[in-house]
Amino acid sequence: MGRLFGTDGVRGVANADLTAEMALGLSVAAAHVLAEAGTFEGHRATAVVGRDPRASGEFLEAAVVAGLASAGVDVLKVGVLPTPAVAYLTGVLGADLGVMLSASHNAMPDNGVKFFARGGHKLADELEDRIEAVYEAHRHGEPWERPTGDGVGRVRSYDEGFDRYVAHLIGVLPNRLDGLKIVLDEAHGAAARVSPEAFSRAGASVVTIGAEPDGLNINDGYGSTHLDKIKAAVLAHGADFGIAHDGDADRCLAVDHTGEEIDGDQILAVLALAMRERGVLRSDTVVATVMSNLGFKLALEREGLSLVQTGVGDRYVLEAMKEHGYALGGEQSGHVIILDHATTGDGTLTGLMLAARVAETGKSLRELAGVMSRLPQVLINVPDVDRARVSTSAELAAAVAEAERELGATGRVLLRPSGTEPLVRVMVEAADQGQAQSVASRLADAVKSALG
């Protein structure tokens, strides 16, 4: 079988790909692997377990809790909270392990299991590989060592998690949000209570949509992947702007007072200038992926800031930030990491910081986001080609070089083999849409010809 762990934990259709037995087995395996690694040395181990509101999260949470407690780990159940809240509480409570049950922006039938190490950080790849190996070995008959008597884990609800997380969010804000009217779209997800509470306590007047999770409606027509409803609500309520989260609230996209989308690149640009002003943008550097719009890079250069680019995925952004001590990074999709205050992307924190900048400057979000101009970007997926030869085809290299000559400094070409399918993604940015479209079409043809 392929690797169970993807870039963001183990994910699949709940009760088909991701079963109760698998969730239980992975949790026991995680406890054993962390014990072997010395994480539990000299003390009784504790885990924080949270989930998003998906119906399947109810039985999967029960399985994870049973697995951990049967392996001798005490469990604090924090209930329905965002992924970054579970990461934060894992750190602040000194827990040895955090577990979040969520499939983020995926449709309701999916779910996932994501583990956090002590401190609330993502588990290292080698630990995930070891957990998978141990899980597979026991699935095929190797018996577990099981504690008995007072060695089994104890389970209790930790209801203070909600208030503790909200207090943390408000505590790191540089200024209050009084006078702002903000629409919040919670995607019927994990932040349905947290986000409105935090924005209200910080002084904003709040209108909420997509904040009535029933276990079945998560991400259904609401949230950061469906912006039509928040655009309409911002206009209908005459709000200053809107903030949209995804199902587990590790993302944040925004909508300005005219109903225009403000993407992750623009949010990063606004926050970068705010953080530089406060002297907390270390090395005057922002980390983003190669998919960031060229307009973002040009805006940072104009402002005298540096951009470090990584492969696609917030895990690569986070690795670069940790390695070099950078304070701000993220993706166009709205995953923004503010490392001084969070160990992972935190959509509520990002939205609050964006709102704080609007309140502090007295400028509209539209004006602040105007620091960068998004260049037209065309993405074409070319299927049924040999993606392995992207970097070795001389014919393709010549076509790319010709396109880059035509675009000059005001455009960009990116050819990216898919990590999971036999296709190549062709991305072209140019000064105008027509040129971007024509160059992208030409390159897509070249990919078919060279790799077909």
Q: What is the pLDDT of residues 136-166, one digit of tens each?
A: 999 888 888 899 999 999 999 999 999 999 9
State the catalytic residue, choosing from 104, 224, 292, 393: 104
The answer to whether 246 is annotated as binding is yes
Question: Is 449 noted as a catalytic residue in this protein?
Answer: no
Q: pLDDT value at position 149?
A: 97
Topology classification of domain 377-451: TATA-Binding Protein (3.30.310)
Q: pLDDT value at position 390?
A: 85
Q: For residue 369, give the nearest of 259, 271, 250 by alpha carbon.
A: 271
- The average pLDDT across 118-143 equals 92
Q: Could you tell me where in the chain the CATH 3.30.310.50 domains are found? A: 377-451
The answer to whether 248 is annotated as binding is yes
Q: Which residues pair with 426 in a beta bridge?
A: 380, 415
Q: pLDDT value at position 386?
A: 85
Q: For residue 333, give the nearest of 376, 292, 373 by alpha carbon.
A: 292
pLDDT-based confidence at residue 388 (cuts at 50, 70, 90): confident
The CATH number of 10-159 is 3.40.120.10
Displacement of CA 66 from its chain's centroid (Å): 28
Class of domain 164-369: alpha beta
Characterize the bridge pairing of strands 46-51 and 97-101.
parallel
Q: Could you tell me where in the chain the CATH 3.40.120.10 domains are found? A: 10-159, 164-369
The answer to whether 250 is annotated as binding is yes
Ramachandran quadrant class, 179 (left: phi over 0; alpha: psi -120 to 50; beta: rest): left
The structure's pTM equals 0.92
Tens digit of pLDDT for each residue in 239-282?
999 999 999 999 999 999 999 999 999 999 999 999 999 999 99
Q: pLDDT value at position 2?
A: 57
Whether the CB-CB separation of 369 and 269 falls below 8 Å is answered with yes
